[in-house]
Structure 1
Amino acid sequence: MKFSLALIAAVLPFISAATLERRAWTLPPVNGIFDYQLGGSYAPNTNVAVLTRDSSASGLAGKYNICYVNGFQTQPQDKQWWQTNHPNLLLKKANGQLFEDPDWPGEFFLDTRTAANRVALTAVMGPRYVDGCAQRGFQAIEIDNLDTFWRAPGLITMDHNIAYATLLTKYAHDKGLAVGQKNAMELGARGKNEAKFDFVVAENCQEWNECQDYMDVYGNNMISIEYNRSYFDASCKARGSKISIVLRDRLVVPKGKSGYVYDQC
């Protein structure tokens, strides 16, 4: 079918700026050597192909860079900012107190329970974090703490978080970024089919006997982090030729710091 120049000229004004800005995204290389640098950036080994860094850092030229975004709860340094600017988007208990992560002091759960909140949260998280990832040389994001639905039982549900994740993945895709599901094996195929995650980043999947569950959904588009040498060795033996697997210290401290641990299959 041929279109006249006049018809094209008539249609173009109605194409949104968001559509014009949309860029294609690419997946991390399968079974690429991986480094997980959440505790601080450092020069990775030369054979590293895939690299995760915090959203406050920058990607590294020549690598596939994944940007860590704490998408379902706040960062400790942002506590006051959220309370001042968006207090109604923070989850509260029945007694009115903010729902704080018991394992990570200063991190408060985001309230994904209503459609209005989910839209508002995307309007905050997108420009504040995702845009920065796109601008600083990252090719993908991984969205952490998706599992607040089972850590805040009776308040947040899986459906709430999947609906919110769907908005975040669309926002990131429109910026040319692939999106990784972070943990939350309980989603099953819903993470890929509904939320539209492109790959998965899983912690301790060997320890919790979850690795195959993730691979049943994402195939070899998976990155695995273990924090125990024996589980790392077992995972490498079972699937090290298929997916990216690394051993890291639990605080993911930078190379050269006390406690630093790193190995890869």
Structure 2
Amino acid sequence: MLVLIYTYQPILVLSVYLKSGEMSDADIDGSESFRRQGSFRKVLPSVPSADSQLSMSAKMIDRPAISNRGQQKAYSQYQQEYSIISEYNMLRKQEFPGIYVIPSAQNCLLWFGVLFVRQGVYQGGIFRFCIQIPEGFPDGECPRVVFQSKIFHPMISPNSWEMDLRSGFQEWRKNVNHIWQVVHYVRRAFYKIETKSPLNQEASELYNKNEDAFCENVKLCVKASQEQVYDLAPTDDLHYISFERYDDERHNPVRESIFKVKDNEDEPSSLGLSWVQPGSLQPFSKPTS
């Protein structure tokens, strides 16, 4: 039998009694055959007064707010670095031919790149560029691409040497647009030339109206890029992509080691032990030595 006893005080007492057979009021009052199995008591909180609620609210309002901007800034910086590392890993998996990009050793928001054009109007060109990532990345605006030499191209400004990315990235969308897409866009611009909304109006008009004159100007910038390939690096950054002229004393040993044929290269490689005699299909037919 379950007995609930309520009182006017904020206390609720629950007692449980067990008895085999019939139970009566007299049994409940005095019989020792009942055995109490257990009880628990729960004290309900008293109803707070209006004055105490007002005083508590006033204390919460007057309490000075704890600023965690420093922690948020440190976490956002860590999150940004992780995002940039992820972007570079995605770029490495693309394996675009003829273009090489690496982040700066001093600033993860600056990437160095070199483009080798292998065919088309700009064939033979060696064009250096930088990818400038905005500080709020991956939020914010699209990264900027600035070349390090003057290039006669409709999509490249003749003054700032910056490439126009608006036709490919009208709005930079987080988790949708990535830096590898920017690199692909830069490479594609030298193989498929677009003249819509050009930054270099002269190059656009010559490409549409006088292709021979356009090609002559392109040849000049291609030749200039080849002459500047061995120039000294404009920065002391360890990740800046630089080139040296071929030195027989330094590079010949490396070249020979690459093309040298190994002595046992023509011999078939053994992947394990065999107990089959050559020319036979019988297992364990090869004598042990």
Common fold, TM-score beyond 0.5?
A: no
The TM tier, using the shorter chain, reads under 0.3
TM-score normalised to structure 1 length: 0.21
Higher relative contact order (CA 8 A, sep 6+): 1
TM-score, length-scaled by structure 2: 0.20
Larger Rg computed on CA atoms: 2
